[in-house]
Amino acid sequence: MYNPEQDGNLLITLDCWKDLHPSLITIPLETEYKIPYGILYSKNPKKEVLDFLKIIKNKEKIF
């Protein structure tokens, strides 16, 4: 677990993490850097998960 009081390092995060922990402070960073992401799911997903994956697989790239 990241503990800024102990290690003093910076953590680059996504904007959606800004309210994740009360001890973390988010400062916007203007950069061209992109953070890859993905979807994690079980090796044997339920039908509903497979249906969802089909839906998003068929969508065009947004970015």
Per-residue pLDDT of the chain (63 residues; tens, 9 = 90+): 445 555 567 777 777 778 887 877 788 878 887 777 788 899 999 999 999 998 888 876 555
Rounded-to-integer distance, Cα 61 and Cα 37, Å? 13
Q: Tell me the C-alpha distance between 29 and 27, whole Å.
A: 6
What pLDDT score was predicted for residue 42? 93
37 within 8 A of 29, measured Cβ to Cβ: no
Of 5, 9, 25, 29, the closest CA to residue 17 belongs to 25
Q: Going along 10-49, which residue ranges are E strands?
A: none
pTM beyond 0.75, yes or no = no
